[in-house]
């Protein structure tokens, strides 16, 4: 989800360069190759040369808006509208957006939302834990499903759960065994889909042991949906995420279009996943290519089509809604809408769901993130937060090569989720510290420590898992 302003047009210097090289893609490619060669030599010397300043210029250009900006719409003045060429754009009223602050609040809200759900519960996560808190969540689902059958007018409540196959199958007691009672008791109302990466197959799948096989690829969507209410988060369904593992959580209330989109997205990923059966076996959806037994290319093509159909149909629906909202007679102010009670207030918050599924050649999140970092000019302030600091080389070059100010919040070693773990996993926090020190060394060697600042999150007895990006443009206030 994008927030606050980053320029959609290219930097002035990039536009000038393009003006000097009309119809010269070969020269641009040559400059790119030279920059890569210089980058490799620079890394060997452990220093960054002034050529780094060309990083924003040689990055992919910003996706162009294919239709003129809508000057009649409130968002006609914001600088994110190019993103709606890639994903659906959802306009909501800020009074429907609530940011949660703690794992306990997240857990209690989920339980409360499950208890009052009438039509649908959709939960996508890496895995479901096996402790008493996770069992409490499963019990809530069971109770709500039971009530839906016993009601005077039985509801058509459906529960859809999407998890990762390898992580959800780890150990004898796992996510699958936790959910089997629901499948056995409510086979017509409950669906459990287990995504299996197409990259883990053949001899590789036979040789890599449990836990290590999760490094090949995972299902990492985190969305929790109850009727028309949606929680977007990075938290998994595990006890630490309900107690002392800090994450981010955004609660969207009464947002039917967003709820419909994420329901369809989870259904699409579910359709290309393995379906858990009541006897703990798995089956492929009829007519679908098997993710690790079938032809990999055919599977990825089918998955790409299934997911992109959801994105494209939602884009089309939102474009129609956009026209009706801003070019019809249905737009009201918040005050007028509250008085009328039957029409929605004017949206003042814009939500763009960014999708990244690289095995299926869907890299929307990557495109948007690189564009935002590339276009962050002097005067902009970028906030990045991650529990695992491991920027790609492209992102490092963009951070060090642009002129925006960066505030980067990281997990200290003690609040890394792997701190104190046994075996190889116990060395992971030290590895991230090493990467952080290398990066900060490059910041200092370029004299950019005032522009790029790193901070570590620490809280006794807690771990840190929040991830996200905020880009803002600071402008002097008009007199």
Please list the active-site residues.
220, 222, 227
Beta bridge partners of 161: 123, 192
Count of C-beta atoms within a 10 Å radius of residue 464: 24
Q: Give the whole-angstrom CA distance, residue 127 versus residue 367.
A: 27
Q: What is the CA radius of gyration of the chain?
A: 24
The full DSSP string for 149-195 is HHSSS----EEEEEEEHHHHT-SSS-HHHHHHHHHHH-TTTEEEEEE
Token digits for 113? Answer: 């939302």
83, 66 Cβ separation under 8 angstroms:
no
| Strands across the sheet containing 190-195 | 97-100, 249-252, 229-233, 223-226, 120-124, 158-164, 190-195, 274-276, 282-284
Look up tokens 């963009």; give the residue.
Answer: 398
Burial string for 335-359 (b: 16+ CB within 10 Å, else e) reads eebeeeeeebbbbeebbbbbbebee
Q: What is the DSSP string of 279-348?
A: TS-EEEPTTPPPTTTS-HHHHHHHHHHHHHHHHHHHHHHHHHHHHHHHHSS--B-HHHHHHHSSSPBPP-
User: Bridge partners of 274?
Assistant: 194, 284
Tokens coding 183 = 């499948």
User: 163 near 202, Cβ under 8 Å?
Assistant: no
Phi/psi of residue 190, each to 5°? -115, 135
Say how far apart CA 345 and CA 92 lie, in whole Å.
8
Contact 240, 463 (CB under 8 A): yes
Asked if residue 210 lies in contact with residue 127, where contact means CB atoms within 8 angstroms, the answer is no
How long a stretch of residues is the chain?
479
First to last CA, the chain: 32
Is 37 in contact with 49 (CB distance < 8 Å)? no
Provide the CA 358 distance to its chain's centre, in angstroms: 13
């Amino acid at each position: 989800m994008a927030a606050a302003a980053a320029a959609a047009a290219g930097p002035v210097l990039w536009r000038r360069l393009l003006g000097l090289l009309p119809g010269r893609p070969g020269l641009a490619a040559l400059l790119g190759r030279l920059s890569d060669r210089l980058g490799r030599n620079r890394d060997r010397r452990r220093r960054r040369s002034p050529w780094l300043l060309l990083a924003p210029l040689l990055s992919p250009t910003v996706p162009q808006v294919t239709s003129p900006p809508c000057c009649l719409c409130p968002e006609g003045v914001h600088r994110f509208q190019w993103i709606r060429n890639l994903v659906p754009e959802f306009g909501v009223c800020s009074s429907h957006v609530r940011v949660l602050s703690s794992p306990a609040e997240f857990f209690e809200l989920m339980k409360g939302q499950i208890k009052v759900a009438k039509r649908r519960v959709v939960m996508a996560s890496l895995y479901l834990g096996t402790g008493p808190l996770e069992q409490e969540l499963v019990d809530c689902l069971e109770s709500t499903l039971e009530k839906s059958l016993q009601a005077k007018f039985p509801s058509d409540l459906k529960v859809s759960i999407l998890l990762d196959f390898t992580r959800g199958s780890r150990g004898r007691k796992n996510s699958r065994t936790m959910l089997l009672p629901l499948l056995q008791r409510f086979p017509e109302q409950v669906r459990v889909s287990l995504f299996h990466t197409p990259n883990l197959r053949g001899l590789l799948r036979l040789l890599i042991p449990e836990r290590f096989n999760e490094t090949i690829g995972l299902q990492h969507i985190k969305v929790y949906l109850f009727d028309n209410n949606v929680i977007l988060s990075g938290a998994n369904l595990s006890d630490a995420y309900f107690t002392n593992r800090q994450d981010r959580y955004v609660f969207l209330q009464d947002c039917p279009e967003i709820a419909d989109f994420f329901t369809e997205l989870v259904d699409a990923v579910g359709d290309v996943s393995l379906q858990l059966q009541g006897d703990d076996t798995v089956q492929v959806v009829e007519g679908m290519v098997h993710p690790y037994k079938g032809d990999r290319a055919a599977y990825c093509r089918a998955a790409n089509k299934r997911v992109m159909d959801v994105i494209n149909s939602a884009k089309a629906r939102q474009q129609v809604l956009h026209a009706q909202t801003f070019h019809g007679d249905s737009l009201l102010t918040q005050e007028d809408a509250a008085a009328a009670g039957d029409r929605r207030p004017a949206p003042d918050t814009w939500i763009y769901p960014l999708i990244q599924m690289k095995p299926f050649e869907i890299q929307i999140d990557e495109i948007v993130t690189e564009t935002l970092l590339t276009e962050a000019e002097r005067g902009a302030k970028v906030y990045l937060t991650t529990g695992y600091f491991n920027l790609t080389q492209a992102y490092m070059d963009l951070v060090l090569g642009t002129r925006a100010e960066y505030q980067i919040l990281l997990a200290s070693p003690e609040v890394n989720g792997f701190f104190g773990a046994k075996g190889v996993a116990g060395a992971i926090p030290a590895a991230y510290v090493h990467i952080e020190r290398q990066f900060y060394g490059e910041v200092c060697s370029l004299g950019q420590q005032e522009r790029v600042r790193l901070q570590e999150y620490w809280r006794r007895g807690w771990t840190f898992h929040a991830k996200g990006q905020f880009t803002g443009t600071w402008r002097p206030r008009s007199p």
